[in-house]
Amino acid sequence: MGRLGNGECPGPVSAPSPRAWWTSALLSGSLEAPSPRSSRVTALTWSLAAEPGAAAIAREICTGVLGQWEMADRAADVELVVSELVTNALRHGRRGHDAVGAAEDPICVSMLRRGPELVCAVRDRSDRMPQRRDPDFQFESGRGLHLVASFCSGWGVLPVLPSGKHVWARFG
């Protein structure tokens, strides 16, 4: 089960289609998910230490992968969204909601491509679900999920057993 983000609601979001091609790949860990209707899935997953430089590393890797996949025209949007998702995982995705990362709590980033469609997902070990909120423009934080919703065609959450979640964003 998951939740789909859209640009309209500030609170919890509704469930995505269980037939989304990337959901089984993310949940099973098998990124060679079969596709009944289209070309094969191309995928890459990597782990990042829960450290302050993780978002910059994720952006750099995403840019390189998009170039290899001949999707460099999406780099600016994908970099921004992945950076926000990694930053949220660092701030809010630690077990016990601790903002300080631990070696046993790496952040995993996945990029999955099928034809022109791209999905980027960030997995953390916390069961805490992301919540969009109305941003307070007096504060530096609080706008991340609004940015994510603005720069991708859909986003959502896939809980992972026994703990954790993938927060994903779809492009195309």
Per domain, the residue ranges of the chain are 3-171
Whole-number pLDDT of residue 142: 58
**Is residue 95 classed exposed, middle or buried when 0-12, 13-18 and 19+ CB atoms within 10 A define those classes?**
middle
Residues of the chain falling short of pLDDT 70: 1-19, 30-40, 95-104, 133-143
* The token pair that represents 42 in the structure block: 């191309």
* The token pair that represents 158 in the structure block: 């896939």
When computed from its CA atoms, the radius of gyration of the chain, rounded to whole angstroms, is 15
pLDDT tens digits, one per residue of 104-142: 578 999 999 999 999 999 999 998 888 776 666 665 655
Q: Return the SS3 of 23.
A: helix
116 - beta bridge partners? none
Q: Give me the amino acid identity at 48.
A: L
Whole-number pLDDT of residue 24: 81
* The token pair that represents 170 in the structure block: 């779809």
Whole-number pLDDT of residue 42: 86
- The residue with tokens 């007096």 is 138
In the chain the first and final C-alpha atoms are separated, in Å, by 22
pTM score over 0.85: no
Whole-number pLDDT of residue 161: 87
Q: Return the CATH number of the domain spanning residue range 3-171.
A: 3.30.565.10
Contact 137, 97 (CB under 8 A): no
